[in-house]
Structure 1
Amino acid sequence: MLSNLEGAGLPNIPRPPPSKEKQKENQGTTDNAAQCSVTSIYHAHIADSSRKVTATWCKSLVNHSFTINVENPSDDQCPCTCKIDLKAWQFWGRKGLKSLEVDGQRVDVYWDFRQAKFSGSPEPCSDYYVAIVSEEEVALVVGDMKTDAFKRTKKRPSLVDAILLCKKEHICGKKLFCSKAKLNEGKHENDIMIENSLSGPDDPEMWVSIDGTAVIRIMNLHWRFRGNEIVTVNNTPVQIFWDVHDWLYNTSGSSHGLFIFTPGVPDSAAHCDSDGCNTYDSPRDSQSVPRFCYVLYAWKTE
């Protein structure tokens, strides 16, 4: 429960971030047995209703795919799904269109990955778009080529802006885990780096860095394997929760640590549900704008 987060941001801890060479050495790759994935959950106005839209990028040794699901409350057993195989595609498949039926209404999904650029993550870092069109409006655009998406669909933007509720990511690595998430009001995503030292003569330790600055140092993880603190990122308070119990005590092989980053002042009424998205205790609170939450599963591999 994130509403119990306490503490204050630490001063800049005198530990320099690892070099690029060390990052490359320690950072897990998508060739690990565990599957790396990135999932973004949105609220968008589709087919006369506000619906949850889930966009998931998955990559393993044998698979690389993108799946988008549109919530369909009238038939929970049959979600409206569009899946694209990103590994086996031919050039003609990199740009496409698929129509779905959501509560009896047509919903079109447009995509263009012809120039998409990747940088270690299953999710492209630039030069692509996925657009959802409903009722002659573009309800949601995923990716950085929004202008191209509007030109191709020839539809106007929705009067109701889509809201990013949550981003969840599974990363594989040994001692270092690197990711990106937007933790403040800036235009760009923030660089997140988690480093651990679990073996050796000293007590196990862990560091969390944001944009190259170490904001949290956890010493003696045997006693502090679970906890939370509040730090400041570009004048924005960010709540950070961690649980790395399995890193220390899981002997089954691959194990993961859980990290949750929530920008904003702590809200006593807010909780995280099973999707990692914030919910609220009272009806009045439920009418407010949901707070964004970034959830990172750091899978430690040998």
Structure 2
Amino acid sequence: MKARPSTMRECTSCFSDRAVKIATSSSFGSGSTTKASSASAANVSNIGAVTSFFKSSLTTGKFLVLKLTWSRSHSGPFFSVDVDESLISADTWKRTHLLRTKSGTHTFLASSSNITVHWDFTAAQYGPGPEPIDKFYLAVTADSEFALLLGDKSEEFEKKFTPKLKIAEFSMVRRREQVIGPALHSTTSARFCDGGKYHEITIKCKGTRREEKDAELSVCIDKKIVVQVAKLDWNFRGNQAVFIDGSPVDLMWDMHGWWFGAPAGHAFFLFRRRSTLESRLWLEEESTHGFSLLIEARRAS
């Protein structure tokens, strides 16, 4: 397979606007999955951060983009919230609101709207990363309307408001996972179309040094290999289309930093659903049709 010359500026700028939800369970380790033995599990490292972007269509006709970043420090998990009207400049937002308490309310002004964030993670349960997966709620209101509701306890929280607030249509439009580990072995789950099922995605690299002649990159979807790349010293960058739920999904990888860089090298993997098979790869005007998932791996001992 021939490598496609590219830069990560290209890679990180081709996210899209389509509604998708993701259930994540991602890990980096050395030759083992999250169901591995306790001996192998010792090599599994933490997920550093997860960033999700949601597009909310208010009943007034106004659109908002909400950016949630989940991270973890020595004192425990925390999250930040950004709100804007544009997804294009989402990665350069400077108005981050960092929230460290387990429950509370925070109000601010953004995009000419009064924004209030309500959350309760007091009894929240977590997976391998900093993102809560059960027994929590996170609600964002914009001008007295729910712009976002997350968590299994959100419905119960929503019923507390009298009179009842309207609920906007909202959906996830992109996601970024940042993970750290000594070797490349990541598993996550994604849903690539509205109403579709969740698919398990596994990225695995055999070998950690450029001089290893048997080095190989493989990508599996639902435990079936869909991409297999040998000779990574030449094919450290590339792209290939795979089919998920009958729709083409483009996978782009860039392992140059991982393979040739410093000990703490980076690798990037970008999945993006195309509208049709005939649509061209990474075309900017196609950005409104497909969901994007970016996995950023950083090697650490």
- Kindly, what percent of the aligned residue pairs are identical? 23
| Residue number among 84, 97, 100 corresponding to 1:82 in the alignment | 97
* 2:271 match: 261
User: CA 1:270–1:245 in structure 2 vs 1: closer, same or farther (change >3 Å)?
Assistant: closer
When residues 263 and 153 of structure 1 are mapped into structure 2, their CA distance, relative to the original with a 3 A threshold, is: farther
Task: State the Cα distance separating 1:218 from its structure 2 match.
Answer: 1.0
For the structure 1 residues 208 and 233, does the alpha-carbon distance in structure 2 shift closer, same or farther, using more than 3 Å as the test? same
Of residues 14, 25, 28, the one that matches 2:45 is: 28
2:155 maps to which residue?
147
Separation (CA, whole Å) in 1 of partners of 2:93 and 2:296: 28
Q: 2:64 aligns with which of 37, 51, 71?
A: 51
Match of 2:52 in 1: 40
Secondary structure class of the residue paired with 2:160: helix
Indicate the residue corresponding to 1:7 in structure 2. Answer: none
State the shift of 1:57 in Å: 0.6
1:79/1:203 CA distance change after superposition, 3 Å: closer
Give the CA deviation at 1:62: 5.7
Aligned equivalent of 1:12: none
Question: Are the equivalent residues in 2 in contact too, given 1:80–1:100 (CA < 8 A)?
Answer: no
- TM superposition shift of 1:143: 3.2
Q: In 2, distance between residues paired with 1:212 and 1:291?
A: 23
Mapped partners of 2:257, 2:282: distance in 1 = 26
Q: Give, as a single letter, the amino acid of the residue that structure 2 aligns with 1:258.
A: F
Deviation at 1:55, TM superposition (A): 0.5
Tell me the TM-score normalised to structure 2 length: 0.74
Q: 1:231 to 1:145 in 2, by over 3 A?
A: farther
Is residue 300 from structure 1 mapped to residue 299 from structure 2 by the alignment? yes
Alpha-carbon distance in structure 2 between the residues aligned to 1:25 and 1:233: 33
Change (3 A) 1:180 1:237: same
- Counterpart Cα distance in 1 of 2:268 and 2:80: 24
- Residues 113-262 of structure 1 correspond to what in structure 2 (within 5 A)? 113-154=121-162, 155-158=164-167, 160-175=168-183, 176-186=185-195, 189-198=198-207, 199=209, 202-250=213-261, 252-262=262-272
Q: What is the TM-score normalised by the length of structure 1?
A: 0.73
Q: How far did residue 197 of structure 1 move? A: 1.4
Q: C-alpha separation between the residues in 2 aligned to 1:116 and 1:45?
A: 28
Take 1:196 and 1:241, find their aligned partners in 2: how far apart are those partners? 15
Offset from partner CA, 1:272-294 (integer Å, 9 cap, x none): xxxxxxx42xxxx78xx552211
In structure 1, what is the Cα distance between the partners aligned to 2:215 and 2:225? 17
| Aligned-residue offset at 1:105 | 4.1
Count of residues in Structure 1 that have an aligned counterpart in Structure 2: 261
The residue that corresponds to 2:78 in the other structure is 65
SS at match of 2:36: helix
- The whole-number CA distance in structure 2 between the counterparts of 1:78 and 1:202 is 43
| Alpha-carbon distance, 1:141 to partner | 1.7
Q: Which amino acid aligns with 1:254?
A: A
Residue 258 of structure 1: CA displacement?
0.5
RMSD of aligned alpha carbons: 3.3
Paired position in structure 1 for 2:105: 97
Q: CA deviation at 1:130?
A: 1.3
- Measured in 2, the distance between the counterparts of 1:299 and 1:228 equals 20
Measured at CA, do residues 58 and 103 of structure 1 come closer, stay the same or move farther in structure 2, by a change above 3 Å? same
- Asked whether the 8 Å contact 1:81–1:100 carries over to 2, the reply is no
| Superposed CA offset, 1:20-58 (max 9, x none) | 22663543225xxxxx11111122246973232110011
Q: In the alignment, what sits opposite 2:24? A: none
Aligned 1:5-16 pairs, distance under 5 A: none
Residues 210, 136 of structure 1: alpha-carbon distance in 2 compared, 3 angstrom cutoff: same
Q: 1:214 and 1:153, CA in 2 relative to 1: closer, same or farther beyond 3 A?
A: farther
Does the C-alpha gap of structure 1 residues 257 and 194 become closer, same or farther in structure 2, counting only changes over 3 Å?
Answer: same
